Amino acid sequence: MRHTMVRLLGLVLGAVALTAPGQAQGPAEPPHAWLFGAWIGGLYPPPVTLNAQECLAQPVVIFTRDLVLRAIFTTDTYVQRRVDTVRATATGTEFRLIEPLESTPAGNALFGDQAAPPPAGFGCENANVLHVKREGENQISFPHCSDFPYPLIRCSTR
């Protein structure tokens, strides 16, 4: 009986391998893998000339597998948003985001400064949705997001 089960399992696995020729072993890349890395611009027009070191010193947006981070002018830390779901669209990618990981302190309570907390989203119609439009190989934009009126360009690693 055990020998028959092992043979059956071998046949099933063999059939699966035959029906999926050329597929790589391991997990597929997520639909936003093309965005991974650091991006500059968005808050201001992207610089025309910028070396990799200058770009990577102060990126405006960083995409990873599980997080999207954005810089804001009022603090020296990035607002971190966890990725809930991602789907590819005809023009780029759409992110559904989870509430912020942590809130940045709103002002300095010692001096009574109670400034508004940093924005949780990207200035889009919904703080938990981010539409990314691919403008070129290394250029993107966030359509309808008031915090990012300009395109972003990818920071080169070289």
- Domain with 129, as residue range(s), is 30-102+120-158
Count of domains observed in the chain? 1
Tens of pLDDT, residue by residue over 8-67, are 333 333 333 333 344 445 578 999 999 999 999 999 998 888 899 999 998 999 999 999
Asked whether residue 35 is assigned to any structural domain, the reply reads yes
**Domain containing residue 148: CATH number:** 2.40.128
Asked whether residue 70 is assigned to any structural domain, the reply reads yes
Asked whether residue 114 is assigned to any structural domain, the reply reads no
Asked whether residue 52 is assigned to any structural domain, the reply reads yes
The answer, yes or no, to whether residue 78 has pLDDT greater than 60, is yes
CB 4 within 8 A of CB 24: no
Q: How far is it, in rounded angstroms, from Cα 24 to Cα 29?
A: 11
Asked whether residue 140 is assigned to any structural domain, the reply reads yes
Asked whether residue 12 is assigned to any structural domain, the reply reads no
DSSP lists the bridge partners of residue 83 as 97
Q: C-alpha distances in angstroms, 28 versus 16, 32, 93, 99?
A: 17, 11, 16, 26
